[in-house]
Structure formats: structure tokens, C-alpha cells
Structure 1
């Protein structure tokens, strides 16, 4: 087991770290592109338009299924150069219906790994997005008993991580942030003085990608969630 140093607190991302999430949105996007069947633009070009719209809406409206549906509608309007009809809006809603009814699917080994870590560290959960939507996931995931606290925030930036340290009274240097998103989990936690564990997920949302410094000794890269027990 590699040394965890003076670690006292482990902070966990939720979506695409504890359970699968973004692959559902990717399925809807694939169905949307099939349904759209644009006469001149290919799938890559349309996806670039959608990414730009989602990037702007994330800043203005946050995250989650409702904002995602808004982005799909705006993408359709931009490509068709006219307002979305009521029928089209219904069809978009039908494409995305699976997002609201999907049960939380834990990553392999998550429950057992958290059970082992909970006896040795203070565990916190930090997730961003629509409060009602994220709370539903927390309520049904079956993991909350492992955590000392769970927080739903609008954004995960350096200010959020500094607030979390003050709220729970830990020194940033004694805490590790564990997640799949360079943009939301790794880089802002490092900027706040925490160390981080990066567990890549092949389905990570493109807007959560960012470059990590391969020479940063404060970031550990693991292949799978259970590998945490080799480090902590």
C-alpha cells in the first residue's frame, strides 16, 4: 500500500465516480442525432454545435437533465433556424425520458471500498448539479451511510473546495479529492491545496475534460475505484 501521508479526509465525487451517469446522456445525444437527420451537417459538426450550447447553458443555468433538454431544444432551433414546435419538444422529451427514470448503477467495487475506507478516514461526498435531481440519486444509491456529510453544490471550483475545508475543519493538505473530472474534481481541488486521485471514466462528459500536469506529484492516477485500497 502506497503511503497516504497525513490524510484524514477523503472527498468523493458522485456522478461517473461512484455511479455511472454520463453514458445515459450520450445515448440520448446519439438518438437525438439520428432523429435530427440534418441534410448537410454530419454528426461531428452537430455535436460541436451542441457542445457550444451546453457550455453556455452550464454557465447560465447549471447542470442536469432539465438544462440538457433546454440545450437540445436550442440546438434544434439553431440548426433549423426557427423556433421548436410543440410536437418537436414532445419528441425531444420522449428521447430523454430514460434520464429521469434510470436507477443508479454503482461502479464495480464502490460499496465494499467505501466500507473499508470509512473506518480509517472521514468521508465526504461532493456533487454538483440540480439539487432535486442529485438528491434523488443520493436517496436511492444506498451509500450515504458511509459518509459523514454529502453536499450538493452549483459548481465545483476552488472556492467550493476552500469552503468545504472550512465547513468541516480539515486542512486542505490533509485531504484528497477523488473523482473522474479533471475540470471539476482534480484541478480546483489542487488549486485549493488538496491532493487528488484521478479515476478516469471513458464516458466522462467532454466539457469536464481538461489537461492534467503529468509531473504533479499531488495527483494519483488509478485505473478503477477499488484501487483506492492500494493507496489508502
Structure 2
């Protein structure tokens, strides 16, 4: 089948994102150092994020609320209000951080724009994702933008039916095996994994070894060769 539509993930595929979560978590560990060791705090925070993602969704706001919840839990409710204020301030800083594009991201999107329907498919907080797309300078290169609550096979089936000729004639490009790759393959499409050095623990998943519609690249500069192989 001919490839008609190409979807791009946003965070840590087109621009850096996870590094800001790591920096904020280090700040969080310093703030709570009197109550918990870093490794224990990390595990408690991850447990809170896993519990809360269904209610708060993905992104900075859910992360901030999970940090506050964890701070209350590990301190047995004794965490000072000043520390809660610091956590809230850290969350606000994350929501204002400048956008830094990944290497070769602009060139890759520009090379495909006009040749294929391009769709940005990202999950997270609506306002934050809209801000990052606007600051990236890539918005005009996309034919459509979908900010979704989660990425599943049903999500991709719906998105590529709406903006293309169906998932079977579409490709999804992203850094997350769990969100960008496995559900796209399940929907019948092609999927290109571009690993990032930092990946949130809840996004880990096994590689689909040997799948005929799966490819992996070290950076976005190799996309053209993958598309050429598909024909």
C-alpha cells in the first residue's frame, strides 16, 4: 500500500521535554531530603504517577500534583507549606521552559511537508502542548494537530481515518515504544522508533523485533531511507 500520511510525536521526538522532568525531580529530591532518600522518593513518586495518570492525564500538571501528593505521604503530612510552594513554582517553570528542537527535526519535517499529509499526534496538557508547538516554529508544516488523552490503536485508527486514508497507509514516528510504536503497529500502520536518551519509566515497552512494519533510527535524518524502502 502507498504511504499517504505521516504522524509525528512531539515531546522528545521533535523537541526536548523529558530533561526538564529529570531536572525538576532532582530539585524535588533536594527539597524532600529530610524525609526520604532519593531512591525511595523516586519510587514513591513513580507509584503516585502510575496511580494518577488516569485521573490527571499526562504532562506537567499531573506530574506536579503527584509530587505534592508524594511529599505529603513521605513526610506523614508534615511537609512545610514553603516546600509545597517550591514544588508549585517548579511546575510553573516547567510550563514556561523554552523549546529546543531535536537535531534534524526541522529538516525532516520540512522535507516531508507537501509530499505527505503530516499530522502531529501528541498527548499531554492541551495548553502546554499548544504553547510548545507555537514556539517550535513547526506548526505551519503540519496539515493537522491532534492532542489526545492517550495513544492507543483506536486513537491511531481514528486519527488517520480523519486526516488520511487510514492507518494502513500511514506511518507514526516517535520515541516511545509504548505510545508511538506498538499501538500504531496494532492499528495496521508503519512505525518508526527514534529513541531518546531519557524515557519516562511508564513509557517503557518491548521492541517489536522482526515486525515487517517496524523500523528504528538513531535520529530523524534517516527517515527518507525508511520511506524509500516502503515505496
Contact 1:177 1:197 in 2 (8 A): yes
The whole-number CA distance in structure 2 between the counterparts of 1:198 and 1:89 is: 37
Contact 2:173 2:193 in 1 (8 A): yes
TM-aligned CA deviation for residue 85 of structure 1:
4.0
The whole-number CA distance in structure 2 between the counterparts of 1:84 and 1:185 is: 38
Q: Which residue of 2 aligns with 1:43?
A: 38
Cα deviation digits, residues 154-212 of structure 1 (max 9, x gap): 11111211111221241322111100011110111111111100000011211111112
Structure-to-structure mapping, 1:1-232, within 5 angstroms: 6-38=2-34, 41-82=36-77, 84-232=79-227
Unpaired runs of 5+ in structure 2? Answer: none
SS in 1 for 2:95: helix
Cα deviation digits, residues 17-45 of structure 1 (max 9, x gap): 00000110110001111221145x53222
Change (3 A) 1:114 1:73: same
TM-score normalised over the length of structure 2: 0.93
Contact 2:106 2:138 in 1 (8 A): yes
SS in 2 for 1:176: strand
TM-score normalised over the length of structure 1: 0.92
TM-aligned CA deviation for residue 229 of structure 1:
2.1
The whole-number CA distance in structure 2 between the counterparts of 1:195 and 1:112 is: 21
| Higher relative contact order, chain-length normalized (CA < 8 Å, sep 6+) | 1
Contact 1:175 1:194 in 2 (8 A): yes
The whole-number CA distance in structure 2 between the counterparts of 1:210 and 1:31 is: 28
Change (3 A) 1:168 1:94: closer
The whole-number CA distance in structure 1 between the counterparts of 2:78 and 2:117 is: 50
The whole-number CA distance in structure 1 between the counterparts of 2:38 and 2:194 is: 29
